Amino acid sequence: MTSKLLKIQSRTDYVEEVYNSLVDAICEGTLGPGSRLTQEDIAEQLAVSRSPVLQALRLLKKDGLVQDAPGRGVLVAPLDAQYLSDIYQIRGSLDALAAKLAALKKAKLDPGLFDRGCTASGSGNVRAMIDADMEFHFAVYEASGNRLIGETARGHWVHIRRVMGAILQVTGQRESIWEEHFAIARAIERGDSLLAASLSELHAKRAHQHLIGEFDILLHSQASTTYSNVSEEEALV
């Protein structure tokens, strides 16, 4: 592992922070597919003991982000087009249900979501674009009133973040994404549950189609260079 990691500030329990740091690096492409990770390297760079690193790696393996490697350590798992397609199918159903339930409540989403989203889209900052997109969708999940939707979706979004980061590095963001978000929010606020569900499912379908269309380009790019717009010093934060 060649990326330089930033030390983690002193805390009692480091597992969650080590895990989140590694997830951020994998999702942003700093640790690309095939990168070898060892407990010793991670512990040294993050200035923590090997115990929380081992637990964090076990969680990453459970999530499907890393896999066993020949010899020592683990490898960052490759992107799997079929697995991601399966995730997007589930996401479409969950998003449609969340939007429908939120519309039945005539929930009003924070207008700041759209200001932050449009600002992020124009910034070219990949992390900001992903964060804004997730903020919108999790706001809809919360507005649905069914906490299991967000809890279920959270595990899928780890992989969605990863492929979004990779694609945004190579091809940029779809221009219509925040127009689609705004249309979903308007349908929810008006209480049009059928339209809100339909727009949400269509939004997920378009994201899936965009993924399929760009996947070959993405794999070619990964074969030639590690996608990232952050420096090695910012590898894990």
Please tell me whether residue 121 adopts helix, strand or coil conformation: helix
pLDDT band per the 50, 70, 90 thresholds, residue 218: low
Please state, in angstroms and rounded to a whole number, the distance separating the CA atoms of residues 34 and 54.
Answer: 19
Domain 15-78 matching CATH 1.10.10.10: the answer reads: yes
Nearest to 24 by CA among 46, 44, 39: 46
Q: Is the pTM above the cut of 0.75?
A: yes
pLDDT in tens, 18-54: 999 999 889 887 888 899 999 999 999 898 999 999 9
Q: What is the mean pLDDT of residues 192-196?
A: 98
Q: What percent of the chain has pLDDT over 70?
A: 85
pLDDT band per the 50, 70, 90 thresholds, residue 77: very high
Q: What are the residue ranges of CATH 1.20.120.530 in the chain? A: 81-224
Give backbone dihedrals phi and psi of 52, rounded to 5 degrees, phi first. Answer: -65, -30
Q: What are the residue ranges of CATH 1.10.10.10 in the chain? A: 15-78
pLDDT band per the 50, 70, 90 thresholds, residue 225: very low
Domain 81-224 matching CATH 1.20.120.530: the answer reads: yes
The three-point CA angle 99-181-170 to 5° equals 125
Can you give the pLDDT at residue 211? Answer: 83
| DSSP H helix total and E strand total for the chain | 9, 3
